[in-house]
Every structure is written in structure tokens, then in C-alpha cells.
Amino acid sequence: MKFNFLFFRFVIILFDISFLSFALTQNCIDIPNPLNKTNRIIRPCHIGKPSNLKSKSKRDENDMCKVDFTCNISDGNLCEKAQKSLYDACQNISSILILKKQITISATFLADSSNYLGATTPSRFYLLRSKDGIVRAYPQALAKQFQLELNDTLSYDIEMIFNPSYEFWFNGDEPISALQYNFFTISLHEIFHGLGFMSFFDNSFAVNYGLSSESISPLPELTSVSGGELFEGFIETIFDRFVYILADSSEPENTKINSFTNITAEFNKFGPPPKNYSNEIEFLKNLSDSPQWKNLTPYLYKKATLQDSIIFVPFNEDVSNGTFLETGIAYNPGSTISHVSSNKYEDTSDFLMVYQTNPGISTESLINEFGDLISPRLKTIMHSIGFLTKDNPIMNEPEPENPESSPSPSPSPSPSSSSTTTNSVTYKNSSTKIYLDTWKLWKFALMILIVYLQTDYFGNFKLIICNE
Ligand SMILES: [Zn+2]
């Protein structure tokens, strides 16, 4: 028996050594601060070869969420309610998803006079190769559900900040007042961002590097190496894989639907990657002078500010089953594209992922009106990006892989039909900024609100849910 035991240990050690030798280094993209999502740090990560080992520990469906709440305010009761509400929201989401690994959330109360209620980012994106051969960014919460060995995951999948400058209402509180914002629905909204409801198509790179703010692009993977900067291509998120651009009335009638993935491929004709540059200045000069940057970034900006021009089409679905993304507002990187269209869905059962919210709406009233806070449309989006759901427990296609573990087939990204949708431009004012620093001012605002409760002024208290 002793010999057998030693032999068994020897086999285990050999296995460990052979496994480690398969660990491959890829870049990860870390976003440490949800209030500064443009700060994207590219660093090496180690991904082991796909593992067929089944987890020995049985999954506890009641323990699929971990929430650590850092409360920077003196009201302990409020802190407890916020943590519980966030946990309940996470449990609510985990009850519709089939999760293999626990979702971990770090949340913080941080008072801010700006007009947003929260801010969220996946803490880390792993670069994995989707089945169509394209390397994309997968948020850690999603990547760790796959049969990959992610050797250095961060402690938290999702980083969140909530703004207690505004009055939150929690499930179980007294009836909601006209000035209170529903913390539970805001929590659901933010968690979905953290799970991957997020595009890399924005102007953050352009703004960070002093280029025109009306330049939208996917994220360039640029890392410092000895002797300069290595450009390894533009990266999109797995969410972006299903995003398409519709033709508008200014374009010829036969203009076809275009995908973000095709646009990313067009961007990647610049360089082409991998390409070394002596420094960032040289890279920027070459990039900003390139036809790709000059043609594509203003085209994307135009589409991002044109109502009903960008749509999420679920895996293998017709564009008619797509969900319009937010493009009908003055461009705001925190609101545009990474939300559903408020024009289309604000007053529907798909309200949850619109970019702004009214106060005074209780969870019960929403359930009475819509039945479920997490709509079938939202479930389909999460299923498309790679989550199994209770409604659809079958994976669309094989799981993504470490990019270094397989060759790249040709991409074939296109939905099952084209569109001839035309659009008109409609700009809506973003929410009126409210700078109320003290509770007395809140009371004053409440009085004004009561006076105008039956008027259109009520709409001005709508707040942006997510910070830029
Ligand atoms: Zn949001």
C-alpha cells in the first residue's frame, strides 16, 4: 500500500510538472478603477492548456456570489443594506445563469457630486480565441467559467463603485419616495456590465493620447518592450462580436450591414500587427496618419451618435431579433454602445440596461408591470457571449481557447440577413446635472419636485446609471 501511495504521489507530481509546461503567456487587460475605465493596463497572464478535469467539489448554487463591500460612510445600516442588496442582485443573476465558478465582486461607496449612480468594470479581461478564429477580450467572470486553467486570476472579477450622494431605496424599505433610486435594479444593471455587457469601441484611446475625441476605435494592444513599443493589433470584447452597424439614410440603398468584427479587421490592416515602433509618439503618428484611422474612427463616431444605427444580434439569429444599442444621445463613452437604446426600451421589460433611470420606482412595481427584471432579450445577450443559462443550457459553440494553442481559421462574421433600415438623427439631452451636496438641499429639491410632480419637470431627475 505504501508503495502504491508513493507511486500515486509521483504520478501527481509528474502531472503537475507537465501541466505547468503547458502554461502559456498571453496578455491580459486590467481595468483597476471603475471610475477610470480608460486606464487599461496590458500585462502578461498565464493560461494553462484546456483541462478536462471535472471539479471535485460540488457546486453550491446558493454560494455562487461573493460580495465584499467597502463602506466609506458612517451610516452602518445603509452599508449593510447596500451589501445585502448587491448580494441579492448577484444571487438573482446567478439563479438564471449556470455558473461553474463563483462570481466575486468588490464594491465601494464613494460620494461624488457628479450625476451618476454607479460605476463598474470587469477587473480583468483575458485574451482568448473565439471559435471564429478571432482573439477577443473575455471578462474574468466569464473566462473562468470555461475549461481553461487561469493561473493568476484577480481576487475580484468585478470592481464597482456606488455614489451615496443620492438617496438609495432598498427592497424591504418603506414605500419608495419620489427622490429615491432603486439600489437593487441599479445593482443588477452594474453586475451585467461586470459579466461582460461591455464594448471596447469608444473614444478612450483617442482621448488618452490627445487625438480627436470624435474618434471611436477598438482598443489597440500596445505594450512596452525593450527598444520600443510592440503593437499587437486592435482588440474587441466578446460582446463586440455580436454588434453590427446598420446602414443609414445618408448611405447608398444597397449598403450592407457591417459588423464590429469586420471593422476591427479593417483597423488591423494598420501595421499590420505585430509591429514594433521605436516609441509611442512614432506609433501615434503612424496610426493617426493611417487611412484606417482617418476613415474608420469618424465613421464609427457618426454611427455612435445616430439613433438606431448599432445593434446586438444574438448568435445565429436574424438581425430582426437584434437589440438596438444606445446611439441616440450626445456621445458619452460611459453610456453610448454599452447600453441598450433608451428610445426603444426605456418603458419596456428590457429597461434594465438603459443608461439612465428615474427615481421613485420600486422593485415590486417593476415586477408587477414586467414580471421579470431580467428579460429574455438580456438573457439571450448573455448566452451569446458565452454564459450558459437555465433557459438555454447548451453552449452555442465550443469554448474559446488560449490563442497560442491553435491556429487561426478565417473569420466569417455575419448575421443571417442584411438590413435596409434607415434612420433619422435624434439627439436627446443627457440628464440635467444636479449638484446637491447636503441633505437640506435634497429636502429643498423634494419640495420643488412635489410642486412639479405632475409636470414634465419630473423627467429632469433622471440620472445616468454608469459613470464614464
Ligand atoms: Zn450602465
Distance 345 CA to ligand 1 centre (A): 14
Distance 312 CA to ligand 1 centre (A): 16
Cβ–Cβ < 8 Å for 399, 136: no
Judged by DSSP in three states, 145 sits in coil
Distance 198 CA to ligand 1 centre (A): 9
Distance 231 CA to ligand 1 centre (A): 30
Q: How far, in whole angstroms, is CA 330 from its chain's centroid?
A: 20
Per-residue pLDDT, 2: 43
Distance 185 CA to ligand 1 centre (A): 11
Per-residue pLDDT, 406: 55
Distance 451 CA to ligand 1 centre (A): 30
Query: How many other β-carbons are positioned within 10 Å of the β-carbon of residue 124?
Result: 28
Distance 174 CA to ligand 1 centre (A): 26
Distance 381 CA to ligand 1 centre (A): 15
Number of separate helices (H) and strands (E) present in the chain: 12, 22
Bridge partner residues of 466 (DSSP): 118
Bridge partner residues of 290 (DSSP): none
* Radius of gyration from C-alpha coordinates of the chain: 23
Distance in angstroms (rounded) separating the CA atoms of residues 366 and 376: 15
Per-residue pLDDT, 404: 72
Bridge partner residues of 30 (DSSP): 41, 124
In the numeric block, the cell 478565417 is attached to: 410
Distance 186 CA to ligand 1 centre (A): 8
Question: Would you give per-residue pLDDT tens digits along the chain (468 residues)?
Answer: 443 444 444 333 333 333 333 456 788 999 999 998 888 999 988 887 665 545 555 667 778 999 999 998 889 999 999 999 999 999 999 999 999 999 999 999 998 888 889 999 999 999 999 999 999 999 999 999 998 888 789 999 999 999 999 999 999 999 999 999 999 999 999 999 999 999 999 999 999 999 999 999 999 999 999 989 999 999 999 999 999 999 999 999 899 999 999 999 999 999 999 999 999 999 999 999 999 999 999 999 999 999 999 999 999 899 999 999 999 999 999 999 999 999 999 999 999 999 999 999 999 999 999 999 999 999 999 999 999 999 999 888 778 888 776 544 444 444 544 333 222 222 223 333 333 344 445 544 544 444 344 333 444 488 999 887
Cβ–Cβ < 8 Å for 192, 382: yes
Distance in angstroms (rounded) separating the CA atoms of residues 402 and 305: 35
Query: How many other β-carbons are positioned within 10 Å of the β-carbon of residue 58?
Result: 6
Distance in angstroms (rounded) separating the CA atoms of residues 167 and 158: 23
Per-residue pLDDT, 212: 95
In order, the DSSP letters of 153-169 are: --S-SEEEEE-TTS-EE
Distance 130 CA to ligand 1 centre (A): 25
CA atoms 339, 345, 348, 350: torsion sign: negative
Distance 242 CA to ligand 1 centre (A): 18
Distance 193 CA to ligand 1 centre (A): 7
Distance in angstroms (rounded) separating the CA atoms of residues 183 and 180: 9
Cβ–Cβ < 8 Å for 243, 325: yes
Distance 339 CA to ligand 1 centre (A): 6
Distance 38 CA to ligand 1 centre (A): 15
- The domain segmentation of the chain, as residue ranges, is 204-304
Distance in angstroms (rounded) separating the CA atoms of residues 329 and 341: 9
In the numeric block, the cell 419630473 is attached to: 458
Contacts 24+ apart (CB under 8 A), 273-277: 273/221, 273/231, 273/232, 273/233, 274/230, 274/231, 274/232, 274/233, 275/230, 275/231, 276/225, 276/227, 276/228, 276/229, 276/230, 276/231, 277/228, 277/229, 277/230, 277/231
Amino acid at 239: F
CA-nearest of 89, 96, 53, 51 to 69 is 89
Distance 299 CA to ligand 1 centre (A): 24
Cβ–Cβ < 8 Å for 446, 166: no
Please measure the distance between the N-terminal and C-terminal CA atoms of the chain and give it in whole angstroms. 63
Per-residue pLDDT, 453: 44
Query: Phi/psi of residue 333, each to 5°?
Result: -60, -25
Distance 110 CA to ligand 1 centre (A): 17
Distance 392 CA to ligand 1 centre (A): 25
Distance 415 CA to ligand 1 centre (A): 26
Distance in angstroms (rounded) separating the CA atoms of residues 331 and 341: 13
Amino acid at 73: I
Distance 378 CA to ligand 1 centre (A): 13
Containing H/E element for 261?
helix 260-267
